[in-house]
Amino acid sequence: MTNFDNMDLKELEKHIDAAHNAREKKKKELKQEHKRQLDEFAKTLGTTVEEVYDIGGGGKKKTMSRTREVRYIDDQGKPFKRAMSGWTREQKNEYANNAKESVG
């Protein structure tokens, strides 16, 4: 066993760094071993860890698209989901009222 009391600061820092590196290496090895064991166990069950936890390999998850309601109906009966930039304030109000009347 090493006697740390007789070491100078530089030597102690070397030992601390070496211990830290050895600890990180051991943690990585244990993690890999545990992952291997989990994969092996999942295989005996006929599945994978990824399937159990819905991770990886599934690609991008599909999101539901939002359907926007019709907010405006012009004089010809054409529906709009947003106001057009060329409309005046009076047109926007009129078209919005047309949409409200058609719904209710």
pTM for this prediction: 0.45
45 in the same domain as 14: yes
Verify that 78 and 42 share a domain, yes or no. Answer: no
Q: How far apart are CA 72 and CA 103, in angstroms?
A: 11
For residue 93, is pLDDT > 90? Answer: yes
97 has a pLDDT exceeding 70: yes
| Residue 62 covered by a domain | no
Is residue 61 in a domain?
A: no
6-64: pLDDT as tens digits: 889 999 999 999 999 999 999 999 999 999 999 999 899 998 888 888 776 555 666 77
Q: What is the pLDDT of residue 24?
A: 96
Residue 2, domain member (yes or no)? no
Residue ranges making up the domain that contains 25: 7-53
Which tokens go with 42?
Answer: 């999942």
Q: Kindly state whether residue 77 falls inside one of the protein's structural domains.
A: yes
Whole-angstrom distance, CA of residue 102 vs CA of residue 100: 6
Q: Could you tell me if residue 60 is inside a domain?
A: no
- What pairs with residue 72 in β-bridges? 80
Chain length of the chain: 104
CA 68, chain centre distance (Å): 25
Give the total number of structural domains in the chain: 2
